[in-house]
Amino acid sequence: MIVRPSENWFRLLFVWNGSVLQSIIPQLSVIGIVSTIAVLTHGRVFGEKIPLNIAPFTLFGLALAIFLAFRNNVSYERFREARQLWGKLLVSARAIMSQTLCYLPGHTDKRHVARMLIAFVYSLKHQLRGSDAQADLQRLLGDDYTRTLQQKCFQPITILDDLRRYLVGAAQGQQTSATTLWMLDAQLNELGSAVGGCERIASTPIPVAYNVLLHRTVYAYCVLLPFGLVDSAGFFTPLLCVFFAYTLIALEAIASEVAEPFSTAANALALDAMSRNIERSVLELCGDALPPEVTPIRHYHLT
């Protein structure tokens, strides 16, 4: 995720990182070359004039803009839901830690509960990104338990199940009321629900047919546009076509990045920072020392 300070309107025109411009320069270069050829040949291909004008592009561009808007809305809805699910993780982790400290003060190891909650969050992060969770799990839970988890396909759920067993055992030792158990179980269920929601987003991409249709349509429009503009725009055709192509191709690229909120792309969610934030919040409730916050690395990129 790109985290930038507020920029004035002029500096915002020249923002490079996070704008996806660097990833679409090859495509824009191709459109610029095609536009230049169209100008040099006066809109002819193999000596034949291509009978195009601006009118059909105006109508087709409107339909394409509506389709792009639909695609971006679908992508952002996935991004927004993913962020809400991670917000739910923070709320429920705080609630479980607070309830454990208040309702089970004498029969639980608060640091053990905290480590289990934090390990649960980090294991979910690594599962969603397809990365190795071993280092974080060893730091929090030790080598023996980590080796046990390595044999599991769904490590966050295993940790959550073990945490539930631990809290139930502590509650029974203290003869806690059924209401307290219900409150703890409700928050554990919220964590499980968030895991299921994240897994649903990660395992259900936008149907490929939408991507293929939009991709083909955008590039066909951008390649044909110079031949429709050359008679009216003349030598300004390459400049106009590259600008139009930047708008359309960049929108498609942004939609593709945002549609995968758990990736490490510049416009994806900052799972490292959110995991650390949950860790700091849980440890603060326990009165322990807090690790440093995750800060943006080069070019305002917060991972």
pLDDT at 299: 62
Confidence of residue 14 (pLDDT cuts 50, 70, 90): low
Q: Does residue 8 register a pLDDT over 70?
A: no
pLDDT at 41: 84
pLDDT at 13: 67
Q: Does residue 270 register a pLDDT over 70?
A: yes
pLDDT at 303: 78
> Cα(145)–Cα(141) distance, rounded to whole angstroms?
6
Neighbouring CB atoms inside 10 A of 165's CB total 10
Q: Which of 151, 172, 256 is nearest to 212 (CA)?
A: 256
Q: Does residue 11 register a pLDDT over 80?
A: no
* Token pair belonging to 302: 């917060």
Percent of the chain with pLDDT over 90: 35
Amino acid (one-letter) located at 240:
L
Locus of tokens 């309107």? 9
Could you give the count of Cα atoms lying within 13 Å of 63 in the half-sphere of its Cβ? 7
Q: Does residue 3 register a pLDDT over 80?
A: no
Q: Does residue 142 register a pLDDT over 80?
A: yes
Which has more pLDDT, 177 or 163? 163
Average pLDDT over residues 248-260: 89
Q: Which of 196, 270, 254, 302 is nearest to 76 (CA)?
A: 254
Contact 159, 119 (CB under 8 A): yes
In the chain, what's the furthest Cα-to-Cα distance? Answer: 91
Q: Does residue 20 register a pLDDT over 90?
A: no
> Cα(286)–Cα(101) distance, rounded to whole angstroms?
8
Confidence of residue 2 (pLDDT cuts 50, 70, 90): low
Phi then psi for residue 44, to 5 deg, are: -105, 145
Which has more pLDDT, 240 or 176? 240
Q: Which of 74, 68, 62 is nearest to 215 (CA)?
A: 68
Confidence of residue 160 (pLDDT cuts 50, 70, 90): very high
> Cα(183)–Cα(300) distance, rounded to whole angstroms?
40
Angle at 187 between CA 196 and CA 113, to 5 degrees: 100
pLDDT at 195: 95
pLDDT at 213: 87
> Cα(178)–Cα(278) distance, rounded to whole angstroms?
28
